[in-house]
Structure 1
Amino acid sequence: MVLALMFLLPWSSFASGQSGGATPPNIYIAGSGNTSLDQHVTRLLREQIGDSVELVFIQNDQTPVMSGIPVITIGPATFTRIRQINRNTPILALLVERKFIQGYANRTPGQVSAVYYDVPLLRQALTGKAILPQSKRIALLASTESVEIYEDLLDQLAEYNLEARVFVTDSDDQLIPTLVRALNYGDFLLAGSDDAIYNPRNIKHILLTAYRRNRIVIGPSQAYVKAGVLASGYAPFPAMAAKAGELLQTYFETGTFPEPAYPNEFRVEVNEQVARSLNIPLPSRDWISQYLDDLMQSNQEDSQ
């Protein structure tokens, strides 16, 4: 059964365009199937969107019946399903990584947009710098297919007096020997969103190898901090919901979505137990986040 939810929309410019008795426009939302997650995202979106817009929740066996009505999808699997059902549907994707959604957005600009779930690699790299101020060199592991995810980062690091090198491994047999060479080069290991390398099967071996050589690991996500990574940036859900509200507002004002974007706020998760075991003085999470904001803002101003 379709569940219609009424949202609170603080968009005065859009709301003023609705006549008093007009039926509010729809936004469909397709959930991930995780009830708790879907309810949490919905609650946060409710703070951004209001009674000028009606949100219609669609189940897995339901499809949008009206063209031109945007669909908010939660997670990559849901995006893929909705995209396959109707390639002309305007979609705002949530909880998807840049590498997943960028191609779709490039091929259909204005129709597909997203709030990125991952953290920019530069910010992750500077998180390591904030924790180890004397660090100069960053080690990166990649497969042949994933090397390209680090290209932008390699071009950006010089502005922060950092450099990095990518060490390529394409098999389980190569992983640890390649990792050892990487750790001999870098002051810390930066983990990108590369499921071929950073996955539940490999992460324990990677962490043990790094920490036995007194090297820390940064990234790729908040979940890995619980597994033993020292620190990682992440986007809080309220920040992602706020950015979704901005993108939706642009859609209703112009009829097209802007390009996918990162949220305006990031935070840092740390593993204090790992820091103690490596005898690393660990700044507070709030201090690291503020340091990164100030550093990147200052660099941006200097480059203008």
Structure 2
Amino acid sequence: MEIEIVTADDSNLTRRIAEDLRQRVRAIPGSLRKPIAVTIGPVALRREVTQRTGGVILSAYTSSQVWHAIGATQPGVEISGVYAEPNPADQLGLVALLYRRPVRVAAILSSDAAFFRPLLPSVSIEPFGEKDDINKVLNRMAQTQVLLALPDRAVFTTENVRNILLSTYRHGQGVIGFSADMVKSGALATTFSDLQDINIQLTEIIAAYALGGDLPPPQFPRYFRTIVNEGVARSLNLALDDGIRHYARRPVGVPR
């Protein structure tokens, strides 16, 4: 079975991801109709999209925004993968558990992240342009109870993140982050997927393809757990229970 793990650096994390994935794909039965390159991170994905002339590219550990920015592949190359960030549907499920009542949820999106809009029919979208001031945008949504943070590089810059977290805290708004690190920095909560979760999902995609299935479109992580900033939850008068702390979807045989 021709499966190549493509990396662009030799960091400890990249080596761990690649070795775990190699162990998993060795056990996949069947044969592939086309060779598959699994790219670890955005640099490896960009390189493969530019250079590969046939087969399949499976992208992993790359945000949906970067995936969409890369655009069409070379003729004859199929591309799919698993995005790096949480599924907005799972994040909204977490909002429902946290608040236990209908609340207004907003998201701030630039034009580069417009592909999120069809996924958020119940979310109020605040547009963010190149010349917009993040504080003015935040003031416009001051009556919204929840900000759903999406990995939009135009919005969540290093300079903006602190302002966003401080402003929403002052307004009594909960921020559903897009990474565990964001929760540790002051967001309310998020779902998150570790390398085991992502690698199991990639293995399932490859296994289904080897059995004669079609290559699916790119997808958000299927398996996840939850992290909550309990200090922020207390400040928002949110009562936490095990249903929130253990909100998860785990692979068969893998504990919560």
TM-score class normalised by the smaller sequence: 0.7 to 0.9
Is residue 2:221 matched to residue 1:245?
Answer: no
| TM-aligned CA deviation for residue 109 of structure 1 | 8.7
The alignment partner of 1:125 has SS state of helix
Is 1:197 the counterpart of 2:173? The answer is no
* 1:273 counterpart SS class: helix
Alignment equivalent of 1:128, drawn from 83, 95, 101? 95
User: Which of 10, 34, 50 is 2:26 aligned to?
Assistant: 50
Cα shift at 1:172: 6.2
Q: TM-score, normalised by structure 2?
A: 0.81
1:57 match: none
Q: Highest relative contact order (Cα 8 Å, sep 6+), 1 or 2?
A: 2
1:49-198 correspondence runs (5 A): 49-50=25-26, 68-101=34-67, 104=71, 111-154=78-121, 157=122, 164-171=123-130, 174-184=133-143, 186-198=144-156
CA distance in 2, matches of 1:286, 1:279: 15
1:153 is displaced (CA, Å) by 1.2
Matches of 1:96 and 1:47 in 2, distance apart? 21
Q: How many residues align?
A: 246
Q: Taking structure 1 as the reference length, what is the TM-score of the superposition?
A: 0.70
- Corresponding position of 1:267: 225
Aligned-residue RMSD, C-alpha: 3.1
Partners of 1:285 and 1:35 in 2: how far apart?
A: 36
Change (3 A) 1:249 1:275: same
1:259-297 residue CA offsets vs partner (Å, 9 max, x unmatched): 33334312112222322344432334764515x89xxxx
Is 2:31 aligned against 1:31? no
Separation (CA, whole Å) in 1 of partners of 2:128 and 2:179? 21
Q: Secondary structure at the match of 1:94?
A: strand
Change (3 A) 1:121 1:106: farther
Percentage of matched positions with identical amino acids: 25
Q: 1:83 to 1:131 in 2, by over 3 A?
A: same
Deviates more, 1:108-117 or 1:216-225: 108-117
Q: Which residue of 1 aligns with 2:187?
A: 229
Larger Rg: 1
Higher mean alpha-carbon deviation, 215-224 vs 164-173, is at: 164-173
Q: Which amino acid in structure 2 is aligned with residue 259 of structure 1?
A: P
The yes-or-no answer on 1:257 pairing with 2:224 is: no
Unaligned runs of 5+ residues in structure 2 are 251-256
Letter of the 2:47 counterpart: R
**Any residues of structure 2 matched to 1:15-26 within 5 Å, and which?**
25-26=1-2
CA change 1:218–1:203 in 2 (3 A) is: same
Q: What CA deviation, in whole Å up to 9, does each residue of 1:230-272 have, x standing for no partner?
A: 1111123212111111222234343963333334312112222
3-state SS of 1:183 partner: coil
AA paired with 2:25? I
- Ranges in structure 1 where 5+ consecutive residues have no aligned partner: 1-24, 54-67, 158-163, 294-304
Assess if the C-alpha contact under 8 Å between 1:231 and 1:268 holds in 2. Answer: yes
